[in-house]
Every structure is written in C-alpha cells, then in structure tokens.
Amino acid sequence: MKLAIGADHGGFDLKSEIVGLLKKIGNIEVIDFGTSGPDSVDYPDYGKKVSEAVSNGQADRGILICGTGIGMSIVANRYPRIRAALCHDHFTAKMSRQHNDANVLVMGERVIGRGVACEIVQTWLDTAFEGGRHQLRLEKIGKIGSKG
C-alpha cells in the first residue's frame, strides 16, 4: 500500500510519530509531503498535496494532521474521489472504513494523545469497507455536485 501523509506545524510532532509507526508495520510505502519542522505553515498547502496524491492514484490512502483536524478535513473533502474522515477514537476510525470507505484519515494533534492516535491509525488500516448498502450510499454521495 502507498500512503501519503502530511501535516502543518500543529500536527508535525504527531506526524513524525505516525511515520515511525507506519514503518514498523511494514508493507506500507510512506510518501511524506511534510511539513518538516515546527515552524508555522499553512495547512491547505499540505492538505492539497496529500489529497491530490490520493485523488489521482499516486497513493492508495492518506493521513492528514493539523491542530484540530478540522481545517485539513475541509481541504481534503474538496477533492474528487476523496472521502476524508476526522477521527477522534477507535470507533470513529472503524466506522469511517466500514461504512464510508474513507481513504483519508484526519486527526488533530491538539485533540488526541499519541497513544490514541496510533490506535486510530492501526484500526483504520486494518478495517475493510463492508460494501453492500454502504456502497449505494457512497454512489449517492458521488453524484452530489455532479451532473450525474
């Protein structure tokens, strides 16, 4: 699996922790779009890089981190084929995959602890999309804003 990851300064420390976790898991090629330090940057720039990579197929999934996760969620969901989910716990991570086939996980470093964040990532990676009635709902979502 190819996984794109990005964060602003508010998510830099947690991104570093998550990159380490992903490398330990193995079988995941991590594409790190930055930021590379704690200096103030604009979250839309990093949300764009990860979202474009997932939207165009350069990456299979993505993870975005900022202070609260709200800004990154807004950015990511502006892109075609992106289903970004802001998750704060194990349950929301699981449901985002099972019911929504979320392909971008968003977290807020200032909202959750590192241990919880690592559990969220592991759950999100391990949970499969159930399809069925949920697929029909995703198809409806796909038609919103389009002529189809």
The pairing of beta strand 84-86 with beta strand 104-108: parallel
Tell me if residue 66 is catalytic.
yes
Within a domain: 148: no
Inside any domain, residue 28: yes
Q: Which of 88, 90, 99, 134 is catalytic?
A: 99
Cα–Cα distance list, 43 to 64, 119, 124, 126 (Å): 9, 24, 22, 27
Q: Catalytic: 99?
A: yes
Residue 133 lies in a domain: yes
- Say whether pTM exceeds 0.85: yes
Q: Is the Cβ–Cβ distance between 118 and 93 less than 8 Å? A: no
Q: What pLDDT digit, counting tens, does each position of 91-144 carry?
A: 999 999 999 999 999 999 999 999 999 999 999 999 999 888 898 888 888 888
What does the pLDDT read at residue 148? 46
Establish if 119 belongs to a structural domain. yes
CATH number of 138's domain: 3.40.1400.10
**Total structural domains within the chain:** 1
What pLDDT sits at residue 89? Answer: 97
Residue 86 included in any domain: yes
Q: How many CB atoms lie within 10 A of CB 122?
A: 15
Residues 23-81 pLDDT 10s: 999 899 999 999 999 999 999 999 999 999 999 999 999 999 999 999 999 999 999 99
Residue 10 within any structural domain of the chain: yes
Boundaries of domain holding 57: 2-143
**What is the secondary structure of the chain as a DSSP string?**
-EEEEEE-GGGHHHHHHHHHHHHHH-S-EEEE----SSS---HHHHHHHHHHHHHTTS-SEEEEEESSSHHHHHHHTTSTT--EEE--SHHHHHHHHHTT--SEEEEETTTS-HHHHHHHHHHHHHPPP--THHHHHHHHHHHTTS--
